[in-house]
A and B are shown apart, each in its own frame.
Chain A
Amino acid sequence: MLRGWELSAGDLEALALGAAILGTGGGGNPYIGRLRATQLLKAGFRIRVLPFDQLEDADLVVAVGGIGAPVVGIEKFEKGDECYQAMRAVERFSGKPVTALISSEIGGSNAIEPLIAAAYAGLPVVDADGMGRAFPEVQMCTYLIYGLPGAPAALADEKGNIAILSSVADEYWLEKLARTAAVDMGATAGFALAPMRGSDLKRTAVPHTLSLALKLGRLVLQARSRHLDPVSQVAGETGAQLLFEGKIQDVSRRVVKGFARGRVEIDGLRDFQRSRLTVDIQNENLVARRDGEVIASVPDLIMILDLETGEPITTELLRFGFRVAVLGLAAPEQLRTARALEVVGPRAFGYDLPYRPLGGGGWYAEH
């Protein structure tokens, strides 16, 4: 019996756009992934999405995604089945058949990777993820934060090499060992985490995020074609607050310990004139300060969109002169607990700040 609903080629464009918005500046460009998924649909493969409420306790679900450096992905793109092979490796190792796939990170390119693996496997993708946004490291997903084992995890490259991380001291070691193996494999690899039971996912996953990305992408595309304001459409759908509108005055960057660390300064326009917003950026937008005062920080989502087109602007593309809207969206509840904040709060990214949660509800609070 086929479960769930089928994704069309048209959905992929919207999904990629919506995923980039949820990427909050990071997560990698979904362009290559979308092209690959589109190719698979043309070749007759099917991609099905399993609604979160149809997930069964007994389901065995594997989270897959690409691991490596985004800059390599534009040159050496995938053979195609890397994530699928990684998923099969953990399945073989655990000895139990996998019944569905899921994304760890709905923000950016890893929204698409599970769809591709699912097309190969003939399995559905659960409408949920482990972040509701993008984060730079493996341990920053709700599955691992709430104690689901990451191992046995597996990496697979295009050549046929497979590394199974059969046990790890903790989830930071999982990140470290997986990252090292991925670099050896050419800084691109498919990655699969240990199979998770449906009952555990109901407890830990951020539900309905695939639908959310799809919806956001559709809204922006429609707003553009109907000459509506895409930014207010995104804000309206998600309940995100308009934190700022302005023009980028300065962007500074450097790399510290493998992470692009920088700061963008935005001078206010319209209702925000004579005010300045600074956003600290690493791979994602992390902390927003208005006139020196912190108004939003990780894990809440800080989304920087082109003021006119609503196009999400990734951290590496930020530059002087862009007119942008900055939206703030309260993170999923699973990322706001004391336990989660140790892993994804401001201090986890090296900012000596207490987390000041964005108020005002929003999409995640309501779903």
Chain B
Amino acid sequence: MRLRVGIDVGGTNTDAVLMSDRELVASFKTPTTEDVTSGVVTALGGVLGGAGGLGSGVAAVMIGTTHFTNAVVQRRDLAPTAILRLGLPATQSLPPMVDWPDDLREASGNHSYLAKGGLEFDGRPISPIDPAELRAIARDIAARGLENVAVSAVFSPIKPEAELDAIEILREVLPEARYTASCQIGRTGLLERENAAILNASLRVLGGRIVGAFRQALADFGLQAPLYFTQNDGTLMSAEYVERFPVLTIASGPTNSMRGAAFLSGLKEAIVVDIGGTTSDIGALHYGFPREASVAVEVGGVRTNFRMPDILSIGLGGGSVVSEQPFGIGPRSVGFRLSQEALVFGGRTLTATDLVVAGGLAAVGERERVRHLPADLVEKGLGWIQEHLSASVEKVLLSPEPIPVIVVGGGSILAKDAIAGLPVIRPAHYQVANAVGAAIAQVSGETDRVYALSDLPRERALEEARFLATQAAVDAGADPATVEIVDVEDVPLAYLPGNATRIRVKAVGEVQLA
């Protein structure tokens, strides 16, 4: 039996599921704890029945965690970090961290260096790397006692050596430092990629600690299984990889819930609406994966270009407060106090949940307590909810093709049987879709490069990109037999010679279990 445990550490709840191959065996929900890990231990106990239970049969544990997102958002546990950017004389108009909130810049120490190096769009050097310059910078980094270094170079996604060669030189002076190369994290867009690299470098100390804590929690259970973490595109990283690239776990939550929804419903092309207490997240599934955002995504006030799902968040959930004059629902919410404050639970606040109960669409709490609500108010409110969910679903629709809407999450009662004229599906276990998403996560590889199609025919370029993406997936731990290409995007670039085209290919495969 191949058992997998999926755990999702959310803002309110920590969910765990135990899955046997493709079947859900057990699930457990427990409040998220301050230290996070003790909640995880409780959740593990909930699905495995304590040490000595099913633990020995578990082949892998997959965790989706908000630790690192919270560290950035709350500006805590960030290690002082040096950032070296290669690109002089270009780029000096905007030094690293130029657009960061002041408090976050201070939290990571604000140590930045500019040096010669970097590439033009066609791979020519802007200026050659100057080893003497880099050694002098390394000595200064050493003098400041910094142990985490982020390195970025202009157009490094074209040729990683632009950064890796510089790191080798820094290493001569600073052999013990932890290095993050921006090309290993992000794609074209220097400020955004560099931001991600800096965040990553400043999270690495925490990364080591968190991974250690999770390992300890597993060991306490007698679990020998390998540990994986989900990243923001919904695929897995090994624990060792997370220690090096903790930043990639940021915002994995919505992705997990969308992936879980795909799995539980068996659908690959659908809209997913995850309705919580305060907000609803709406996104599109394409080939069973969330469609990625094409614009910059902010994390804690910092622009990044992570592979994040394109999620539309609206301030509408089960706990959204209804105001009558002027009429509106949300974005204010009673949140996790719903079970005390909503009318149906004996509270004094009119919430979206109360309207749904009054309308007879769901049986939650005591319907008696909302009988007094005027029928036209209930009707207006339900109409408002339906209209807003419909409008949001329409916004994320990928094409005019009619596709189903999968509704998951605790606030699912808000949705009727059709949204925007599309059929609504509520799969079994919809409350733990995110933990399921973690449990079934796969391994991915990606390539994102600019090709001059005047030199290389389009077919050959695509072939090369597919090969590179497949290789990256296998390198990340995918079973080669299961790897398939899930996304190909080629965008012609205006104003550049040689018919320049940016080609992005993503491959995914099942994790290779021992």
Complex: how many Å from CA A179 to CA B127? 22
A9 CB within 8 Å of chain B: no
* Contact present for B395 and A321 (CB under 8 Å): yes
| Interface residues as binary, A174-205 with B (CB distance below 8 Å gives 1, 0 otherwise) | 00000100010011100000000000000000
Residues of A within 8 A of B99 (CB): 35
* Contact present for A75 and B495 (CB under 8 Å): no
Among A35, A72, A78, A254, which residue has the most Cβ atoms of chain B within 10 A? Answer: A72
Residues of A within 8 A of B91 (CB): 76-79, 158
Residue of chain A at shortest CB distance from B157: A75
Residues of A within 8 A of B219 (CB): none
Given A76-B120, A159-B127, A323-B395, A183:B94 Cβ within 8 A: no
Shortest CB-to-CB span from A43 to chain B, Å, is 10
* Contact present for B89 and A160 (CB under 8 Å): yes
Q: Which of B94, B118, B495 contacts A68, CB < 8 Å?
A: B495
* Contact present for A159 and B126 (CB under 8 Å): yes
Shortest CB-to-CB span from B301 to chain A, Å, is 14
A224 CB within 8 Å of chain B: no
> Which of B35-43, B361-369, B396-404 faces chain A?
B396-404
Among B120, B493, B495, which residue has the most Cβ atoms of chain A within 10 A? Answer: B495
Interface majority SS on B: helix, strand, loop or mixed? loop
Complex: how many Å from CA A68 to CA B127? 19
B224 CB within 8 Å of chain A: no
Given A183-B496, A254-B492, A74:B189 Cβ within 8 A: yes
Complex: how many Å from CA A103 to CA B397? 40
B110 CB within 8 Å of chain A: no
Shortest CB-to-CB span from A142 to chain B, Å, is 22
Q: Which of B190, B394, B395 contacts A74, CB < 8 Å?
A: B190
A252 CB within 8 Å of chain B: no
* Contact present for A253 and B492 (CB under 8 Å): yes
* Contact present for A321 and B396 (CB under 8 Å): yes
* Contact present for B94 and A39 (CB under 8 Å): yes
Residues of B within 8 A of A179 (CB): 495
Residues of A within 8 A of B294 (CB): 317, 319
Residues of B within 8 A of A340 (CB): none
Shortest CB-to-CB span from A52 to chain B, Å, is 28
Residues of A within 8 A of B90 (CB): 76-79, 158-159, 186, 188
Q: Give residues 113-143 of B contacting A (CB, 8 Å).
A: 118, 120-121, 124, 126-127
* Contact present for B394 and A320 (CB under 8 Å): no
Residue of chain A at shortest CB distance from B192: A74
Shortest CB-to-CB span from A272 to chain B, Å, is 16
B499 CB within 8 Å of chain A: yes
How many A-B pairs with Cβ below 8 Å?
118
Residues of B within 8 A of A320 (CB): 397-400
Complex: how many Å from CA A35 to CA B397? 33
Among A68, A247, A258, which residue has the most Cβ atoms of chain B within 10 A? Answer: A258
Q: Give residues 146-183 of A contacting B (CB, 8 Å).
A: 158-160, 179, 183
Given A76-B91, A79-B89, A79-B90, A186:B397 Cβ within 8 A: no
Residues of A within 8 A of B189 (CB): 74-75
Residue of chain A at shortest CB distance from B284: A321
A260 CB within 8 Å of chain B: yes
* Contact present for A249 and B121 (CB under 8 Å): no
Residue of chain B at shortest CB distance from A78: B93
Residues of B within 8 A of A186 (CB): 90, 120-121, 124, 126
Residues of B within 8 A of A253 (CB): 492
* Contact present for B121 and A321 (CB under 8 Å): no
| Interface residues as binary, B81-93 with A (CB distance below 8 Å gives 1, 0 otherwise) | 0000001111111
Q: Which of A39, A76, A160 contacts B87, CB < 8 Å?
A: A76
Residues of B within 8 A of A69 (CB): 121, 493-496
* Contact present for A322 and B89 (CB under 8 Å): no
Residue of chain A at shortest CB distance from B193: A75
Complex: how many Å from CA A258 to CA B492? 9
A36 CB within 8 Å of chain B: yes
B154 CB within 8 Å of chain A: yes
Among A71, A74, A160, A187, which residue has the most Cβ atoms of chain B within 10 A? Answer: A71
Residue of chain A at shortest CB distance from B493: A71
Residue of chain A at shortest CB distance from B90: A158
* Contact present for A255 and B492 (CB under 8 Å): yes
* Contact present for B98 and A76 (CB under 8 Å): no
Shortest CB-to-CB span from A179 to chain B, Å, is 8
Complex: how many Å from CA A75 to CA B502? 14
Residues of B within 8 A of A71 (CB): 121, 188, 493-494, 496, 502
* Contact present for B394 and A247 (CB under 8 Å): yes
Q: Give residues 162-205 of B contacting A (CB, 8 Å).
A: 188-191
Q: Give residues 45-81 of A contacting B (CB, 8 Å).
A: 68-72, 74-80
* Contact present for B497 and A183 (CB under 8 Å): yes
* Contact present for B93 and A75 (CB under 8 Å): no
Residues of A within 8 A of B95 (CB): 39
* Contact present for A259 and B93 (CB under 8 Å): no
Among B90, B98, B126, B190, which residue has the most Cβ atoms of chain A within 10 A? Answer: B90
Complex: how many Å from CA A72 to CA B91? 12
Residue of chain B at shortest CB distance from A267: B400
Given A76-B126, A283-B494, A159:B397 Cβ within 8 A: no
Q: Which of A75, A254, A317, A322 contacts B155, CB < 8 Å?
A: A75
A32 CB within 8 Å of chain B: yes
Complex: how many Å from CA A258 to CA B88? 29
B295 CB within 8 Å of chain A: yes
Complex: how many Å from CA A101 to CA B329? 51
Q: Which of B127, B295, B396, B502 contacts A317, CB < 8 Å?
A: B295
Q: Which of A187, A249, A283 contacts B496, CB < 8 Å?
A: A187
Complex: how many Å from CA A186 to CA B394? 41
Given A320-B399, A321-B398, A75:B494 Cβ within 8 A: no
Given A74-B189, A186-B126, A283-B494, A80:B121 Cβ within 8 A: no
Shortest CB-to-CB span from B230 to chain A, Å, is 27
Residue of chain A at shortest CB distance from B399: A320
* Contact present for B94 and A32 (CB under 8 Å): yes
* Contact present for A36 and B94 (CB under 8 Å): yes
Complex: how many Å from CA A260 to CA B191? 25
Complex: how many Å from CA A255 to CA B458? 14
Residue of chain B at shortest CB distance from A283: B494
* Contact present for A75 and B493 (CB under 8 Å): no
Shortest CB-to-CB span from A147 to chain B, Å, is 27
* Contact present for B493 and A35 (CB under 8 Å): no
Residue of chain A at shortest CB distance from B495: A69
Residue of chain A at shortest CB distance from B190: A75
Residues of B within 8 A of A36 (CB): 93-94
Residues of B within 8 A of A158 (CB): 89-91, 126
Residues of A within 8 A of B496 (CB): 69, 71-72, 183, 187, 258
Residues of A within 8 A of B94 (CB): 32, 35-36, 39, 77
Complex: how many Å from CA A260 to CA B495? 9
| Interface residues as binary, A247-267 with B (CB distance below 8 Å gives 1, 0 otherwise) | 101000111001110000000
Q: What are 24 contact pairs spanning A and B, CB under 8 A?
A: A36-B94, A39-B98, A72-B121, A72-B496, A74-B189, A74-B191, A77-B94, A79-B90, A79-B92, A79-B93, A80-B93, A158-B89, A158-B91, A159-B89, A159-B126, A187-B121, A249-B400, A254-B492, A255-B494, A255-B499, A260-B494, A321-B395, A321-B397, A323-B391
Interface residues of B (CB under 8 A from A): 87-95, 98-99, 118, 120-121, 124, 126-127, 154-155, 188-191, 294-295, 391, 394-400, 492-497, 499, 502
Interface residues of A (CB under 8 A from B): 32, 35-36, 39, 68-72, 74-80, 116, 158-160, 179, 183, 186-188, 247, 249, 253-255, 258-260, 283, 317, 319-323
The 3 closest A-B pairs by CB, nearest first: A80-B93, A255-B492, A69-B495
Beyond A39-B98, A77-B93, 14 extra complex contacts between A and B, CB < 8 Å = A35-B99, A69-B496, A71-B494, A72-B496, A76-B121, A76-B126, A77-B191, A80-B93, A179-B495, A183-B497, A258-B494, A317-B294, A320-B399, A323-B391
